[in-house]
Structure 1
């Protein structure tokens, strides 16, 4: 029961940070959610549409799991695995908050050719090129372990896949925009974390 409560608090903290950052930037006239918006190549638009659906869908599934878990193909896992899930979820919240804090006004979800941002390589971006995505990945993996269910596991796997595909799209975009500066950053900073 304590794991469920902690997971609820962590997931809620994550989504509060996500939406609070969007609201704060919107007050400055910056629209952060660029997923599946504007004119984009077909492949990019499809990936972003899927990612947008999975991102919001996963939030609904996570919260539904707290109240409807017995209907979501529950799986029995040892409590130590559930505690590992709590730790991973907590790390996900930390990574995400550090990422959006480091990005300041340059944080965006999705590619938008019309909005100019600066390349951020400081803070947590010194150890990961995509710490916000790492935050989401850890949140999804952690919640799937802490609240084991077939539905949450499948949704988490879909989220991980489409976030990776989005990262690949963004890498092409960032190289096109920042050129050699991004190429050098890419050489010294891992895509995810440590050696990944």
Structure 2
């Protein structure tokens, strides 16, 4: 029961940051949710599918946590809680560091800056890394086949979003500065 409460608290802190930032930006006239807007072809498919899956997955996660009746392996459950907590920390740091440049999806006409210091000096995509770590932690702690399949699909969609939507935009918007950054900082974690 304690593991369920801890994991639900971790999820709540994640979504408080996520939606809190969206509300804060909306008050400033910034439209944070750009998924599927102004896109066509593969980027549109990726972003609309990602939006759908990341809207449905939290419901499946909460259901999996609340109604989990398996015999959890204490080490895996504890490791999952630590990984999920780390994911929330990474995500929150990335959102704070991006300030008003943070968006869900790419807004091609927005005036943004290339953030490359702080947490962005060890990950080009710490927000995605944070999502993935939280989702992995929940999966490890409250494993079931449906949650595993949905989590795997979201991991693939996040990767496709980065490779086929975000990175091409950043190359176009920031040119050589982004290429230099890409050469030194790895996509998810680490420096070259």
Q: Could you tell me how far 1:165 is from its partner in structure 2? A: 0.4
Mapped to 2, the partners of 1:11 and 1:67 lie a distance apart of 13
- Which one of 122, 128, 131 corresponds to residue 123 of structure 2? 128
List structure 1 segments (4+ residues) > 4 angstroms apart after TM superposition: none
TM, length-normalised to structure 2: 0.95
- The residue number in structure 2 matching 1:55 is 54
How many residues matched? 191
Equivalent of 2:135 in 140, 147, 170: 140
Deviation sequence 1:68-117 (CA, Å, 0-9, x none): 335xxx6x552101111001100100000000000000001112212221
Give, in angstroms, the shift of residue 41 of structure 1.
Answer: 3.0
Could you list the runs of 5+ residues in structure 1 that have no partner in the other structure?
none
Q: Deviations over 1:146-190 (max 9, x none)?
A: 111111111111111100000102111100111000000001111
In the alignment, which residue of structure 2 is the partner of 1:24? 24
SS state of the match for residue 69, structure 1? coil
Residue 42 of structure 2 aligns with which residue?
Answer: 43
State which of 167, 173, 177 in structure 2 corresponds to 1:171: 167
Pairwise CA RMSD = 1.5
Give yes or no for the alignment of 1:184 onto 2:183: no
1:193 aligned partner: 189
